[in-house]
Structures are given as structure tokens and as C-alpha cells.
Structure 1
């Protein structure tokens, strides 16, 4: 289970790193689960982030069923998706 506190700590950590280092350092910094990076364009339109940051949003991953899906239920979460904002959308 991933806690809201852990997600907030991850968000604070991301905010301190240059974006070029996110891919290399996030999984080692987040022991509670797997961290996946993607573009915000890869996230389904109806999904709601659990945290919105400067340049990124965080979503929870639920892999308890045959197919992984996004969830807002911390008790079902096993990972986090960091969806990077596209500079063109600003």
C-alpha cells in the first residue's frame, strides 16, 4: 500500500530535482512502489491526479487485477505514474 504521505514526499523530492534526473533517481527514492514516467498525453482524459506539481502530475497505479489501471484509492496502489506536462500546452 502506498500512503498519501509517501506520495507527498515523492512530489516534494521531484520538485527539488532537475527534470533531466527524474528518470534515473525516482525509483531509488520511492521505496513504496514502482515509479513510471510518461507524458500527460498518455493519461486517459477522465483520470484525476492525486497530486499536481509544477511540470508534473502524480497518478496511482492499481495492479490487483489482470490489467493495471489508474486509481485514486491509496489502499490499492502499488505504484505511481509521473505524468510530465508538455511545454507546448502552456
Structure 2
């Protein structure tokens, strides 16, 4: 489960530090129980982010099955996809 408060914490770190490899490493260390990945928002397709900040949309993923899958259910979420809205951000 990933509640809105944790997503907001992640968003605040990304907003302050930018979306880059160093930020991703920090998030993985600070939130060791969550899976993080990042990509371009263009790679995500048509779906609503769980949270959006300038330059980055945040999506929920569920890793309980064989493969990672996007989810809209915070109860099922095990990680976050940080999707750069502008490729220059990472």
C-alpha cells in the first residue's frame, strides 16, 4: 500500500532535487520498501497519474504478480513510476 502522504513525500523530493539518477538512488534508499523506476511520460500511454508535479507525473505500480503492472489502487501498489513530462528533466 502506498498512501497519498508517501506519494507527496516522494513528489517533494523530486520537485526539490529534480528527476535524475541521483534522486532515484536517494528515493530507493529512503523508501527501501518501494520499487522505483523512471521513464518518459510518453512511454506510459493514456492513464491518469496518481500525482503530478511540474516536469513529472507519478504513477502507481503493482509488483505482486509475475510482472509489474500499472494500477489505480493504492492498496495494491508496491512502487512508483516517475515519468518525466519533459525528457530534458532526466
**TM tier, shorter chain?**
0.7 to 0.9
Deviation of residue 87 (structure 1)?
5.2
Name segments (4+ residues, structure 1) moved above 6 Å: none
Structure 1 residue aligned with 2:85 = 85
User: TM-score if structure 1 supplies the norm length?
Assistant: 0.82
**Residues 1-90 of structure 1 correspond to what in structure 2 (within 5 A)?**
1-20=1-20, 21-45=22-46, 47-86=47-86
Q: Distance in 2 between matches of 1:68 and 1:87?
A: 23
SS at match of 2:38: strand
SS at match of 2:24: helix
Greater CA drift, 24-33 or 1-10 = 24-33
Shift in CA distance, 80/19, structure 1 to aligned 2, threshold 3 Å: closer
Q: RMSD in angstroms over aligned alpha carbons?
A: 1.8
Q: Distance in 2 between matches of 1:41 and 1:65?
A: 24
Would you say the 8 A contact 2:40–2:85 is kept in 1? yes
Shift in CA distance, 67/18, structure 1 to aligned 2, threshold 3 Å: closer
Deviation of residue 83 (structure 1)?
0.2
Q: Distance in 1 between matches of 2:19 and 2:63?
A: 27
